[in-house]
Structure 1
Amino acid sequence: MVCKYIPVKTAKEIRRVYLDEILYIEKRRRQAILITESGKTVFYCNMDFLKQYVDERFLDCHRSYLFNMDKILRMADQTVYMEGGFRVFLGRECFRRGRKIFGEYIK
């Protein structure tokens, strides 16, 4: 099931985070961190939960990250450069795999 948002439930709120707003998603232990244009949202879930809500524009080249390819400015020197000045360094193999997928996506 692919939606246009990810449902987020925390101790304080329940809300939607729209895919168009997400720059990238980072998974740290049990927490997911949604980095958006307006800030970040932290909640508990697993990567499989997140993957059921994202669509083909999200790059899955690393077990801890999902990148919105519409928000990637460039990929160089094993680093993903995102809108808003965000940068994420990747290992060599993850970067190569991601660069290939991103190259196909932007054609």
Structure 2
Amino acid sequence: MQKGDESMRPYRLAVCEDDKIVRDGICTFCGQTLTEEKISHEVAGFPSAEALEQAIKQGGQKFDLLILDILLEKKTGMELALDIRKWDKKVSILFITGYEEYIGKGYDVHAVHFLLKPLNWTKLKQILLEDWKKRHRPDTLVLQKGRSSLRIPLQEILYAEADKNHAVRFILTEGEEKFPISLSELEQMEPGGQLIRCHNSYLVNMDHVRRLEKQDFFLDNGKKVPVSRKYLKQCQEKILSYFTQ
């Protein structure tokens, strides 16, 4: 099992694949992808449908995304998914298979996607981040430092700016908030990399970015946030990745 930052509820994945090399490869790739995106996570691998089902039913493990091979040795991934849907309507299911004829059957369990073997790793990354963003991403930023605490819906944050008094100003869709924390500390506490560093003094909320022009982010309300040369390349990469998810 691999873990990320424990400051928030982790995004939990189960990979059920009877080929150990393939299973370990998927687990490693998903863990690395989520770590790069600063998404707190746990990834667990299972060699059979029975092992995963036992972990859920008897072990009490809960998952946000199940990556299931369809053709397992005994109980198939499709049969497992049908059983799971009897008690869990929310968990996301991604099937992997080497046979296209199984794709149509995924509608019965509302699978988020099918991936054909050999796996397209770029597509897997896209599906993984889309699922986290649409279904499981926290919608509230919770800050705690000493006796101070603050809760802000992430969607209300346009950007965060370093304040001269060792604090951060949150510029919101309506008004602003201030909290005694550094931008570096905020980067570590923010769930999922939605606020990205674009300047020594600024973090911007990617959900409100509409375009990057020269050295400015233009937001959906018409405001601009500066992008320094130091962070320009990573901002260009981030906006491309974010917009294609």
TM-score, normalised relative to structure 1: 0.79
Three-state SS of the structure 2 residue aligned to 1:85 is coil
Three-state SS of the structure 2 residue aligned to 1:54 is coil
In structure 2, what residue type is equivalent to 1:56? Answer: G
Contact 1:22 1:36 (C-alpha < 8 Å) held by counterparts: yes
Task: State the identity %.
Answer: 25
Distance 1:5 1:91, change over 3 A: closer
Three-state SS of the structure 1 residue aligned to 2:221 is helix
Distance 1:92 1:15, change over 3 A: closer
Contact 2:158 2:204 (C-alpha < 8 Å) held by counterparts: yes
Distance 1:17 1:62, change over 3 A: same
Contact 1:72 1:82 (C-alpha < 8 Å) held by counterparts: yes
Which of 160, 182, 185 is matched with 1:49 structurally? Answer: 185
> Who is 2:130 aligned against?
none
Contact 1:59 1:102 (C-alpha < 8 Å) held by counterparts: no
Three-state SS of the structure 2 residue aligned to 1:74 is strand
Considering Cα pairs closer than 8 Å and 6+ residues apart, tell me whether 1 or 2 has the greater RCO: 1
Q: Name the CA distance, whole Å, in 2 between partners of 1:8 and 1:86.
A: 29
Q: Name the CA distance, whole Å, in 1 between partners of 2:229 and 2:149.
A: 37
Instruction: Give the structure with the higher percent helix.
Output: 2
Q: Name the CA distance, whole Å, in 1 between partners of 2:194 and 2:208.
A: 10
Which of 73, 85, 88 is matched with 2:225 structurally? Answer: 88
Greater CA deviation, 78-87 or 88-97? 88-97
Residue 8 of structure 1: how far off its partner (Å) = 7.0
> Who is 2:205 aligned against?
68
Please tell me whether Structure 1 or Structure 2 has the larger radius of gyration of its CA atoms: 2
